[in-house]
Structure 1
Amino acid sequence: MQSAFTIPSFLFLSLFLVGLVPNAKLDTATKKMYPPFWDQVSGEITEFPVKDNKTIINMWNYTDRLRMYKILITQTNKYFVQFGSNDSGNVLWALALTYGKLYKTGRFSDPSNVSVCAYDAVSPSCISFNSGWGGTNFFVIVLNFLAAVESKFLKNVSHEILLLSPEKHKHDFCFSIEECRKSFPHAMDEAKKFYQYLQSITPASTVNSVSVYNTSEDRATLLLWKAYRAAVETGLSKFNDVSWYSSVPERKFAMDILTLMEFCETTIYRTNFKNSKAFLVGFPRRKLKDGEDKIQKTDFKMREKAFLASTKFISSLNKMTGGWFLVAWKLTVESSELRYVLGNFFINTLLLIPIIK
């Protein structure tokens, strides 16, 4: 019989596990959580090559996308200095760490052949044109990056941005601000709101000659979640067929993640480095194979099984209730002054729940 979660068990485990973060043994070096090759790229747009007065970015090169993430984090760090040391309070860490996790777990490889664009610990590899994860992530970084350019948040962009992609796949994507705005106006607007918000805030004080902005962590986090979900929905609408994934279970997992993100957005689950690192600890270390519908029988570790089971549970329950589970949760947290506490309690606990047979 399929694993089930009971209310009494959920409450008991919630009380027992609340406030827990990843096991100390898993956190031996913070740098291990950075995306692969993070220290080998700069946060400067001038690092990209320029040809015919255009900045050239190869969107199917892992390192080029990584540079885009680092540029955004580098340029936004000053707005989040009060929320964590060493720039760990930046809410954009969720995007960068997720990108690195997808690469390390082989989800950018070709669905039919893991040797194509598979994770390489020595040198960066490519992102397969046939990867549903890679295609969806395209919209996450491109819409964010182009929105930052369009809003003039990125001020050191002296050349037009040219995104490279094979002719065969051009109809699936957009390659300029004009194209993306025309094809995906809602997603572009959601991304742009985040950067416009940062532009609207001003320094509130100065500490050791460093300006401290009056940034609302909740406001910035919520805007980022909305932009992230809009981008992912755009990608999943194009890459939802099982052919883009290695198996039916892997495809279902990708779809279930979207539902989980809606709960994270509603609860304003903070996306700083610490929380994002904690959230991703149980992210399965490899793609799911056909026949791995019963999670408890896989070779995944307990934390990975918990992540998979919890993601599947929340998505299934929401489907069973016709979406009312999410609606009820929204009404519960939005009317509470303890929204942040309830949200982090719910998400952190859910992702730590062991499988109950």
Structure 2
Amino acid sequence: MAFVPSWACLLVGCISASLAVSSKISDVYPPLWEESPGQFNDYKVENEKYIIDIWNYSQRLGMYKILLNQTTKYFEKFAPDNEQNLLWGLPVHHGWQYHTGRLADPTHRTGCGHRPLEHLCLSVDSWWADVNYFLSIMPFLAAAEAGILGISPDDVIFLPPPKDQKRFCSDVSSCHASFPEAMKNWNEFYQHVKSPSSSFDDLLKYIWDAHFSSLKVARKNFQSRSKYYSKPEADFQRNWALFVDYLAPPRFPTTLVRMYEFQKGLPARILLSRDKGPFIRDLTGFQNTVLLLLDFIHKVHKYTGKRYGGFVFYDFYRVL
């Protein structure tokens, strides 16, 4: 299997070239970033508690915006304008999900995410929306628990999805009870965020540990959602989740510009039954190449059980 690293390096070289163009900070924010809530008072208040509809794109995005705002002071030592804040990876990826229509109802039984008046709706049947749920509520509640948000976790109420409520945790106690490892890892990340002695590499390790444990929970809980998608899209979901496993060991820096540039390689729409990479005409050459790479990684992993790409990706991300 010695050919695997060299073949993967060829593809990685194409990706590196595609990532060479930098962007202005003002151009890389997720869709509707400026319009989304940025403080708790922007949310509805009932009985002195903030009510967050986490199944609304703008309101879920606002949770990330609050996280970024409240952690600015901890990351300013690494770069100005909060650009090196490692939490940027969460809203930037969520914005790509929204922009590409992946948060809408894949069954089309409802207008959630499809109709003009429901374009902000996040469907509980969407694999992407469900997986992202755990990558929004857990970092948010853990930050509140760590004292970073300036409020108690009990001061926030999250509106439940229209069905399958038992699959989701909605407060600190239920998240700790159902998903203790993931919550523990997010708490450890924030404790190191607050520590003046923590280096950028230290924080990268802890955020990837937290991200990986949350994704592990979400993937296990929502495998059944893949049946609502075409085979190419379901395969992409599976391959993308596996690829994130490869991003964790080399600790890809989930900063604002790097995440924005990296996501240019992800398909700009939901994949259809007729789509077959690397020959999808309305996707860029970069996106077709990434789809081919992701499928290759899955096949190597499936037939060998080994992560040959780990050290290859390490060298790749050091170059970026």
Same fold (TM over 0.5): yes
Q: 1:93 to 1:106 in 2, by over 3 A?
A: same
Structure 2 partner of 1:22: 19
AA aligned opposite 1:155: G
* 2:59 maps to amino acid: D
CA distance in 2, matches of 1:158, 1:143: 11
The answer to whether residue 251 in structure 2 is matched with residue 268 in structure 1 is yes
Of the candidates 280, 286, 289, which is equivalent to residue 306 of structure 1? 289
Counterpart AA for 2:26: K
Letter in 1 for 2:53: N
Report what 1:222 is aligned to: 205
For residues 136 and 10 of structure 2, what CA distance do their matches in structure 1 show?
39
DSSP-derived class of the 1:82 partner: coil
SS state at 1:130 partner: coil
Residue 254 of structure 1 deviates from its aligned partner by 1.2
- The 1:324–1:246 alpha-carbon spacing in structure 2 relative to 1, beyond 3 Å, is closer
Aligned with 2:236 (options 234, 250, 253): 253
Scaled by the length of structure 2, the TM-score of the pair is 0.88
For residues 226-237 of structure 1, what are the structure 2 equivalents within 5 Å?
226-237=209-220
Residue number in structure 2 paired with 1:352: none
Q: 1:176: which partner in 2?
A: 171
Structure 2 CA distance for aligned equivalents of residues 85 and 122 of structure 1 = 38
Partner Cα distance (1:12, 1:131) in 2: 34
Partner of 1:37: 32
The structure 2 residue matched to 1:77, chosen from 58, 72, 79, is 72
| Structure with larger Rg | 1
SS in 1 for 2:156: strand
Tell me, in whole angstroms, the C-alpha distance in 1 between the residues paired with 2:234 and 2:11: 29
Q: Identify the match of residue 197 of structure 1 among 192, 201, 205.
A: 192
Structure 1 position 48 matched with structure 2 position 43: yes
C-alpha deviation, 1:74, in angstroms? 0.7
- Identify if the C-alpha distance between structure 1 residues 158 and 282 changes in structure 2 by more than 3 Å, giving closer, same or farther: closer
User: Paired residue for 1:297?
Assistant: 279
- How far off is 1:196 after superposition? 1.2
Unaligned runs of 5+ in 2: none
Shift of 1:124: 5.4
Amino acid at match of 1:289: L
C-alpha displacement at 1:111, in angstroms?
Answer: 0.8
Deviations 1:54-95 (A, max 9, x none): 221111111110110001111111222233332111111111
Any idea what the Cα deviations from partners look like across 1:210-252, whole Å, max 9, x if unmatched?
Answer: xxxx441111112111211211221111211255542122122
Q: Residue 18 and residue 135 in structure 1: after superposition, are their counterparts in 2 closer, same or farther (change >3 A)? A: closer
Change in CA separation of 1:298 and 1:115 when aligned onto 2, cut-off 3 Å:
farther
1:10-35 deviation line (CA, Å, top 9, x unaligned)? 55666x658545364xx676434211
1:241-273 deviation line (CA, Å, top 9, x unaligned): 255542122122112112211211100111111
Q: Which stretches in structure 1 are left out of the alignment for 5+ residues?
A: 203-213, 334-338, 349-357
CA distance in 2, matches of 1:198, 1:79: 6
Q: Do the aligned partners of 2:126 and 2:225 also contact (CA within 8 Å) in 1?
A: no
Q: In 2 relative to 1, CA 306–116 (structure 1 residues): closer, same or farther, beyond 3 Å? A: farther
Native 8 Å contact 2:143 2:190 kept in 1: yes
Question: Number of matched residues?
Answer: 317
The CA deviation at 1:280 is 0.6
Q: Which amino acid aligns with 2:200?
A: E
Q: Paired residue for 1:354? A: none
Q: 1:194 to 1:8 in 2, by over 3 A?
A: closer
CA distance in 2 between counterparts of 1:181 and 1:190 reads 11
- Equivalent residue number for residue 319 of structure 1: 302
